[in-house]
């Protein structure tokens, strides 16, 4: 381990370069990723102040080693009550920072390498939740079309289902993202500021046009306004969008509790679209492009879900068949169990 006093000392300078130069310019990270990284280092500084008794103004790079980072990760889980997945998000941000440092100070590769060697935890896989086509049809029938808010909610939920966009992607949409031509398309900017073009279904265009006309969003001056604003004409937050969905999920449960899962979030609309496309025979590569996955391996999770459902359906069918068939044991259909065992005897080789 290098001498503590030989390490670069100006932690604030390197953190500033990392957050304000490297992430937006070199990595082209989205604002959401940037905020996540800022949250990580904010919590890390709080931990160092409260648990390590090091004031933020006095923190130096020489204060960091793998043991301190491991203590921070333990604090994240045990004191803040975060999940293994959240712990991994924080560790990923820290890894990124020290990987960045390696290029400026390769002489400390061993020091930073120990931090980069801290492994991620295996996070439990959540059960994928999605609606059937019947369940989604019910959900989209619930916004009250007699009110402006109901018409906005129908346009919002219909667009989320038709495109499979993520919550933040929906919040960030503007009228300029839409192209009402033949075919109609929408440009969705997702993780890593990567933009994908998704075609719109024919039945969605009139819903969007009517909504945008009512909210004066078809005017050229409104191109960069939020496509789905709140009452203050600002873009909806993730939390506000979640509350909109929660309202209609609650109504749907009252009408058809058998169609609505116990927990259903905005991301489950994205899952529902992927499953429905797969059931309709759409190839995985097209679903990957619609959802904006970097690798088709991410999209393959939906194929595995359907395979599991098929296995369960076959199992239930086989159980039903077995119950309706009286299958007599083989030895009962012969001269008894002794005779049945005799069938397995073979002459010994000499």
What integer best gives the mean pLDDT of the chain? Answer: 85
Contact 23, 34 (CB under 8 A): yes
Whether pLDDT at 311 is above 60: no
Whether pLDDT at 350 is above 70: no
| pLDDT tens digits for range 221-269 | 999 999 999 888 899 999 999 999 999 999 999 999 999 999 899 999 9
Q: How is the beta sheet containing 185-189 ordered, strand by strand?
A: 178-179, 185-189, 195-199
- Residue position matching structure tokens 């941000």: 93
- pLDDT band of residue 315 (cuts 50, 70, 90) is low
Q: What is the mean pLDDT of residues 13-30?
A: 90
CA distances from 66 to 1, 18, 45, 231 (A): 11, 20, 16, 48
Whether pLDDT at 282 is above 70: yes
Name residues whose C-beta falls within 8 Å of residue 140's C-beta, 6 or more positions apart in sequence: 154, 157, 158, 161
| Best CA proximity match to 97, nearest among 27, 182, 196, 32 | 27
Whether pLDDT at 312 is above 70: no
- pLDDT band of residue 2 (cuts 50, 70, 90) is very low
- pLDDT band of residue 348 (cuts 50, 70, 90) is low
| Best CA proximity match to 15, nearest among 128, 127, 132, 97 | 97
| pLDDT tens digits for range 140-179 | 999 999 999 999 999 999 999 999 999 999 999 999 999 9
Where do the structural domains in the chain lie, given as residue ranges? 4-116, 133-293, 295-350
The pLDDT, as a whole number, for residue 170 is 95
The pLDDT, as a whole number, for residue 4 is 46
The pLDDT, as a whole number, for residue 338 is 61
Diameter of the chain measured on Cα atoms: 97
Q: Which of 33-37, 70-74, 200-204 has the highest mean pLDDT?
A: 70-74
- Residue position matching structure tokens 């293994």: 84
* CATH architecture for the domain at 4-116: Orthogonal Bundle (1.10)
Q: What is the mean pLDDT of residues 283-304?
A: 87
DSSP for 176-192? GGEE-SSS-EEEEE-GG
Contact 137, 260 (CB under 8 A): no
Pairwise CA distance, residues 332 & 240, whole Å: 67
Whether pLDDT at 323 is above 60: no
Two structure tokens written together for 339:
């005779």
DSSP for 248-287? HHHHHHHH-TTTS-SS--HHHHHHHHHHHHHHTT--HHHH
Q: What is the mean pLDDT of residues 326-341?
A: 55
The pLDDT, as a whole number, for residue 177 is 95
Two structure tokens written together for 91:
């560790």
Two structure tokens written together for 82:
């975060």
**Rounded to an integer, what is the distance from CA 212 to the centroid of its chain?**
28
| pLDDT tens digits for range 87-139 | 999 999 999 999 999 887 777 788 889 999 999 998 777 778 899 999 999 99
Query: Is the domain covering 133-293 a CATH 1.10.443.10 domain?
Result: yes
Whether pLDDT at 25 is above 50: yes
């Amino acid at each position: 381990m290098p001498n503590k006093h030989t390490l670069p000392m100006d932690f604030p300078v390197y953190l500033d370069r990392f957050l304000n130069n490297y992430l937006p310019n070199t990595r082209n990270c989205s604002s959401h990723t940037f905020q996540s990284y800022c949250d990580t280092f904010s919590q890390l500084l709080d931990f160092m102040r409260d648990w390590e008794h090091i004031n933020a103004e006095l923190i130096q790079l020489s204060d960091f080693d793998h043991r301190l980072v491991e203590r921070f990760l333990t604090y994240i889980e045990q004191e803040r009550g975060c999940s293994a997945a959240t712990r991994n998000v924080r560790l990923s941000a820290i890894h990124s920072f020290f990987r960045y440092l390696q290029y400026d100070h390769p002489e400390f590769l061993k020091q930073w390498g120990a931090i980069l060697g801290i492994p991620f935890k295996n996070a439990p896989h959540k059960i994928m939740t999605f609606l059937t086509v019947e369940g989604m049809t019910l959900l989209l029938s619930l916004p009250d079309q007699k009110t402006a808010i109901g018409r906005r909610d129908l346009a919002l939920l219909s667009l989320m289902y038709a495109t499979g966009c993520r919550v933040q992607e929906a919040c960030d949409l503007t009228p300029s993202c839409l192209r009402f031509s033949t075919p109609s398309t929408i440009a969705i900017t997702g993780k890593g500021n990567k933009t994908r073009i998704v075609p719109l279904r024919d039945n969605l265009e009139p819903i969007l046009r009517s909504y945008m006309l009512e909210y004066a969003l078809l005017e050229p001056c409104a191109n960069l306004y939020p496509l789905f604003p709140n009452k203050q004409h600002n873009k909806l937050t993730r939390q506000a969008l979640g509350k909109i969905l929660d309202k209609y999920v609650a109504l749907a449960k009252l009408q058809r509790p058998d169609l609505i899962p116990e927990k259903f979030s905005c991301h489950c609309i994205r899952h529902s679209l992927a499953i429905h496309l797969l059931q309709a025979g759409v190839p995985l590569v097209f679903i990957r492009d619609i959802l904006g996955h970097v690798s088709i391996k991410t999209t393959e999770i939906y194929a595995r879900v359907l395979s599991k459902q098929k296995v369960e359906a076959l199992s239930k069918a086989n159980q039903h068949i077995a119950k309706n068939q009286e299958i007599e044991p083989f030895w009962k259909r012969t001269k008894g169990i002794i005779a049945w065992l005799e069938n397995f005897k073979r002459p010994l080789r000499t």
